Amino acid sequence: MQKIKTLLLCLLLMSSVSCTMRADEVVVGTGLNEQCLGPLYNSSFPVGDEAFTFIATTTPKPSILAPAAWQKVSEFSSSNGEILDLHFISIQDGNQIFWFTAKEKDETRIWTYNVNDKVWKFGPSVSKEAELFFDNFGNVWIHEPLHEKPSSLYRLNPETLAIESESEKNILFAERNIKHLATTPDGKLWLIVTYEPPQLHLYQYDPFTLELTEHLTPDNYIGLATDDKGVVFMATQDGIVQSYDSETGELDERHINTYNGPIPTNFISMLTTDGNELWLSDVEKFQISDEGLINPQVILRSPVFVTTQFNGYQPLTWERPDPQVETEDGRIWFKSSRGLVWHQPETGEWCMFTSADSNIVNDTQGNLWIVYDNALYMLPAEETKAKE
Q: In total, how many domains does the chain have?
A: 1
Q: Between these two residues, 59 and 353, which has the higher pLDDT value?
A: 353
Q: DSSP code of 11?
A: H
Cβ-based burial of 216 (10 A; exposed 0-12, middle 13-18, buried ≥19): middle
Q: Residue 164 forms beta bridges with which residues?
A: 155
- Residue 58's pLDDT is 63
**HSE (side-chain half, CA atoms, 13 Å) at 121:** 16
- Residue 290's pLDDT is 87
pLDDT (mean) for 49-60:
62
CA of residue 182 relative to chain centroid, distance = 13
**Is 168 contained in some domain?**
no
pLDDT exceeding 70 applies to what percent of the chain?
Answer: 83
- Residue 263's pLDDT is 83
- Residue 90's pLDDT is 95
**Is 14 contained in some domain?**
yes
**Is 1 contained in some domain?**
yes
pLDDT (mean) for 216-223:
83
Closest CA relative to residue 221, chosen from 280, 282, 179: 179
**Is 236 contained in some domain?**
no
Task: Say if residues 72 and 375 touch (Cβ distance below 8 Å).
Answer: yes
- C-alpha 154/C-alpha 161 separation (Å) is 12
**Is 182 contained in some domain?**
no
- C-alpha 338/C-alpha 334 separation (Å) is 11
The DSSP result for 45-105, as a single string, is: S--STTHHHHHHHPPPPPP----TTSEEEEEPPGGG-EEEEEEEEEEETTEEEEEEEEEET
- Residue 62's pLDDT is 66
pTM metric for this prediction:
0.86
Task: Say if residues 191 and 172 touch (Cβ distance below 8 Å).
Answer: no
The DSSP result for 322-349, as a single string, is: EEEEE-TTS-EEEE-SS-EEEEETTTTE
Backbone angles phi, psi at 52, to 5 degrees: -75, -30
Q: Between these two residues, 208 and 218, which has the higher pLDDT value?
A: 208
**Is 48 contained in some domain?**
yes
Tell me: pLDDT of 157 over 90. yes
pLDDT digits (tens, 9 = 90+) for 254-300: 999 888 777 877 788 999 999 999 999 999 999 999 888 999 999 99
**Is 47 contained in some domain?**
yes
**Is 295 contained in some domain?**
no
Question: Which domain does 2 fall in, by range?
Answer: 1-24+40-59
pLDDT digits (tens, 9 = 90+) for 88-117: 999 988 899 999 999 998 899 999 999 999
Q: Is residue 56 very low, low, confident or very high in pLDDT (cuts 50, 70, 90)? A: low
